[in-house]
Structure 1
Amino acid sequence: MIRLLIVDDEQIEREGMQVILEKNFPDLIIEQAKNGNMAVQLAGEFKPDLILMDIKMPGMNGLEAVERISTDYPHIKFIMVTAYDTFDYMRQAIKFGVKDYILKPSKASDIVMTIGKVLEQIEEEKVSLERSKQEKEALQKALALVETDVVTQLLFDHVHDVHVDMLLEILDIQSTNEMFVMIVLLPAGSEHLYSSVKEKVRKKNSGWVGALYGNQLPIIMFRQPDISYRSQATTLAREILSIAKSDLVGDLFVGIGNVYRSLDQIRQSYQESLIATMDTTLPVKYRFYSDVPVIGDVNNEQLIQHHKKEFTDLVRLGEWQQIRTSVMNIIQCYESEGLDLLQTQQRMLEVLWIVSRVLREMGVDTVTPLYPYQTLDYRQLRSETNHLLDRMRQSYHDHYDRLEADTIHQIKQYIIEHSSEDISLDTLAKKVELSPIYISKMFKEKLGINYIDLLTECRIEKAKKLLGDPEKSIKEITFEVGYHDPNYFSKVFKKICKLSPKEYRKTLVGK
């Protein structure tokens, strides 16, 4: 419903104008003001879309009232009603954004035509505003999926050279030069806390939340320059832990990795945050990786190098021989340095925990590796370590053997049939009941592409066909094929086709 305010110091003029308007525009909501001061007051209370403003009034004249109102409410439109058809008046009125004017006296038909044009414009703007609101809501929903996909790709090295850069551009949180990873371990049966944790991070406006894998929720945090890293991480960790207390569930635990200066290094912080969550029995339910005690006083550079080795990638790719070789080399290094056997056993347990945790993230059902007893010598430590690695390797292969042969086909078919929808790794994972990380791995190993490649290919092929219809705008095609931002769609299209959508449409016209 459009609201209209009639401002005139002559009551007969106001009443006459209202009769004309009610007869020709019955849906209008109309109020009256008898002077400029009252018009200014009603502008805030009545919130009109259009004001018919008389110029010559005692006290505050119409032009002064328009200036006051347009300053506070720039969306309100004005039509001046005046007996003074002079250039000077209209020049001032145009300066304040007045849409048109009506001379006194005027025919009813002229009044209806003038006001009707402005009402039509107001109606179009309302429709456009509502459409923009819906598009913004759709974009925000898509951004939430984008955010979880970006975190998954960055932390688990499924980075696609085109899409991560483009996706980062449209996320509303700008990355900084320094970043770190926090991992929240949720107790069993508390998956419903995911949205609460995500809301805490969103309020900070400085982090990206990944998908929930098992009981593990990864968060990439960007350093805030005005406070210290430890203060920033501690504040967020405490706020997250407060959620569990108010929800009366078991304790959460937060592991915090070190700060790094590029997205390429963020996986190192992820692995460090994993190590920081190994002992969840601590009285304080969050721990920085830098606070994890180093066993013994041996300054062992090999331990630091071990933490930097990307066991995550080796497990994900199934490189078990390389994993075994790396583990045995670390044991050999400790033995050569004369490190105490118990200290070495504890450090190797840390390595095996990393391997088992990655397996669980991939959906592999495996138990947490533990040495059954304290080993008596390095030969026995090697034997027991080999045995634990064999058990995890067997769990890995058993899991793969149980997978349905047509899983890839199911996923491909789903992407093809739903390419215009918002599809994430999480969506595909739920569809086939597999882990998001495993699905991404399957695509890369079996098809040599990322799932986003296939989704993009489907969308671009559909867009090519739609571009053949000259009646469809680029914006319409953007939403029809599944994108929410025409600029982003154009970038992807040009990256794939070497031509912008407009250029490609011209080639179709030429043919």
Structure 2
Amino acid sequence: MIKLLIVDDEQVERDALQAILEKNFSDLVVKQARNGRIAIEAAAEFQPDLVLMDIKMPGISGLEAIKKINLDYPTIKFIMVTAYATFDYAHSAMKLGVVDYMVKPSKVSDIVDTMDKVLNQIEQEQKSLEEDKHQQHTMQKAMSVFETDVVTQLLFDHVHEVHLNELVEMLDMQITKEKFIMNLLLPLGSEVYYSAIREKVRKAGSGWVGALYGRQLPIIVFRKKDQSYRAQATFLAREILTLAKPDGDAGWFIGIGNVYSSLNQIRQSYQESLIATRDMLLPVKYRFYDDLPSLVPGFDEQTSKQYQQQFFDLIRNGQWKEMNTSITTLINHYEQDGTNILQTQQHLMELLFLVSQVLSEMGVELDSPIYSFQSTDYRQLRAETSHLLERLQLSYQDRHANLEEDTIEHIKQYIIEHAHQNISLDAIGKEVGLSPIYISKIFKEQLGINYINFLTECRIEKAKKLMRDPDKSLKAITFEVGYHDPNYFSKVFKKLCHVSPTEYRKNIHG
């Protein structure tokens, strides 16, 4: 329905116009105003789509009323109704955005023709506005999906800087050189909080939220120049923690890694954020990695970090043999240096905790590994450490034994069938019952490319087939294959096919 306001100081004129219009147009809601002042008030309350405005009225003139209403409600359209069809009036009215005018008295046919033309224009604009809103809503949903996948690739898939720039371009956010990771641990079954957490980060205007799997939710936070790192991280952590129920926040905790600039270092920040969650029994439910008390006083911090990073990568890549060798080498190193046995055991506990956290993010549910007794010599420590590692490896193998080949085929088929949708690693994970991180890992290992590249290839191949139909527009094809921006689709198409969609279509129809 289109809302119409008729403004005239003559009752007869208003009633006559209303009768004519209601007889000829069934989709109008009509109100009247007898002067310019009432018209301004009615515009605020009624908010019409179209106003038929008499120009000559006592008090506030029609032109003055149009000017005032247009200032507050620029989308309202006006048809000027006047007995003075002079150039001066028409010129002034057009400057105010009046779309047409009618001279009093007018033939019924002229009134109907003028109204029909303007109402069609309004309907087309409303339809276009609705399409834009729908497209914008769809784009926002797509961007949310895209954001989680960018985080997953940044932290776990070794995305190169050049590729990253293309991904970031779609997210329309100015990223800063310095960034750090906040790793949020949630109680199991806390998926209902995901949207609210994303909204908190969005309002802060400083980060991307990854995919939630199990209890872990990684957030990449970009450093703000006008705030210290600690102030920014503390503010965001407190904002997120306001979502926890006062009587049920035991499972909420945030580990905060250090600030880094390169992509390799941002993975170091993620690792630090995991380690920062090792002790959640604190009155404050967040902790900076740098504030962790050392489990092993006197150990060289740099050497400790190097071992952490090494084990972090080995476990993530499933290199258990190398992991065992590195652990053994580390224990031998400490024994040769005469390191206190208790200090060595404490350091190994920290490394094994990191291993358990990596396995947890990959969907392997297990208790944190702990030594059942205090070792009295290095022989016992080697044996107990080997036993704990064997338990962790068995948990990993039990969860993922014989999954890779069948799972990859399942994932490939799922992507092919749903390529036109806002498909994500998270959605694939729910389909096959694996973590997004593990899916990314095995997909790349098995096929040599990450899943986004495979998804892109599926979409472009479908687009090529659709281009054979000369009646399909490129815009329609863009939406049909799963993209929401024709310009971005064209850019992706040209990168893969080395010609633009328009050139490709000309070639196949040539």
TM-score of the two chains, using structure 2 as the length reference? 0.93
Q: Is the 8 A contact 1:251 1:285 kept in 2?
A: no
Counterparts of 1:395 and 1:251 in 2: how far apart (Å)?
23
Is the partner of 2:492 in helix, strand or coil?
helix
Which aligned pairs between 1:12-91 and structure 2 lie closer than 5 A? 12-91=12-91
CA pair 34-132 structure 1, distance change in 2 beyond 3 A: same
Is the partner of 1:221 in helix, strand or coil?
strand
CA pair 393-292 structure 1, distance change in 2 beyond 3 A: same
Q: Does 1:413 align with 2:403?
A: no
Q: Is the 8 A contact 1:298 1:339 kept in 2?
A: no
Counterparts of 2:262 and 2:158 in 1: how far apart (Å)?
16
Counterparts of 2:55 and 2:131 in 1: how far apart (Å)?
36
Pick which of 109-118 and 491-500 moved more: 491-500
Q: CA deviation at 1:2?
A: 0.6
Identity rate, percent: 63
CA pair 192-37 structure 1, distance change in 2 beyond 3 A: closer
Q: Is the 8 A contact 2:460 2:493 kept in 1?
A: yes
Counterparts of 2:416 and 2:367 in 1: how far apart (Å)?
37
Aligned to 1:102: 102
Counterparts of 1:499 and 1:338 in 2: how far apart (Å)?
66
Pick which of 267-276 and 75-84 moved more: 75-84
Q: Is the 8 A contact 2:257 2:270 kept in 1?
A: yes
Amino acid at match of 2:179: M
Q: CA deviation at 1:297?
A: 3.6
Q: Is the 8 A contact 1:184 1:216 kept in 2?
A: yes
TM-score of the two chains, using structure 1 as the length reference? 0.92
Aligned to 2:385: 385
The two structures, once aligned, show a CA RMSD in angstroms of: 2.3
CA pair 248-370 structure 1, distance change in 2 beyond 3 A: closer
Counterparts of 1:111 and 1:192 in 2: how far apart (Å)?
56
Aligned to 1:301: 302
Aligned to 1:461: 461
Aligned to 2:474: 474
Q: Does 1:452 align with 2:459?
A: no
Counterparts of 1:188 and 1:421 in 2: how far apart (Å)?
28
Counterparts of 1:98 and 1:264 in 2: how far apart (Å)?
59
Is the partner of 2:420 in helix, strand or coil?
coil
Is the partner of 2:244 in helix, strand or coil?
helix
Which aligned pairs between 1:167-178 and structure 2 lie closer than 5 A? 167-178=167-178
Q: CA deviation at 1:178?
A: 2.2
Is the partner of 1:211 in helix, strand or coil?
coil
Amino acid at match of 1:88: D
Q: Is the 8 A contact 2:157 2:440 kept in 1?
A: no
Amino acid at match of 2:15: E
Q: CA deviation at 1:425?
A: 1.0
Counterparts of 1:245 and 1:19 in 2: how far apart (Å)?
60
Q: Is the 8 A contact 2:206 2:223 kept in 1?
A: yes
CA pair 173-310 structure 1, distance change in 2 beyond 3 A: farther
Pick which of 155-164 and 474-483 moved more: 155-164
Pick which of 238-247 and 217-226 moved more: 238-247
Q: Is the 8 A contact 1:181 1:266 kept in 2?
A: yes
Counterparts of 2:178 and 2:162 in 1: how far apart (Å)?
23
Aligned to 1:152: 152
Which aligned pairs between 1:65-464 and structure 2 lie closer than 5 A? 65-159=65-159, 164-246=164-246, 248=248, 250-294=250-294, 295-307=296-308, 309-335=309-335, 337-403=337-403, 405-464=405-464
Q: CA deviation at 1:279?
A: 1.3
Pick which of 317-326 and 469-478 moved more: 317-326
Q: CA deviation at 1:4?
A: 1.2
Counterparts of 1:333 and 1:58 in 2: how far apart (Å)?
98
Q: CA deviation at 1:222?
A: 1.9
Amino acid at match of 1:303: S
Counterparts of 1:241 and 1:272 in 2: how far apart (Å)?
20
Counterparts of 1:463 and 1:506 in 2: how far apart (Å)?
14
CA pair 434-300 structure 1, distance change in 2 beyond 3 A: closer
The size of the alignment, in residue pairs, is: 509
CA pair 84-337 structure 1, distance change in 2 beyond 3 A: farther
CA deviations over 1:131-156 (Å, ceiling 9, x no partner): 11111111122122112111111111
Amino acid at match of 1:148: T
CA deviations over 1:174-227 (Å, ceiling 9, x no partner): 322222111122234444443443333333232222112221111112223333
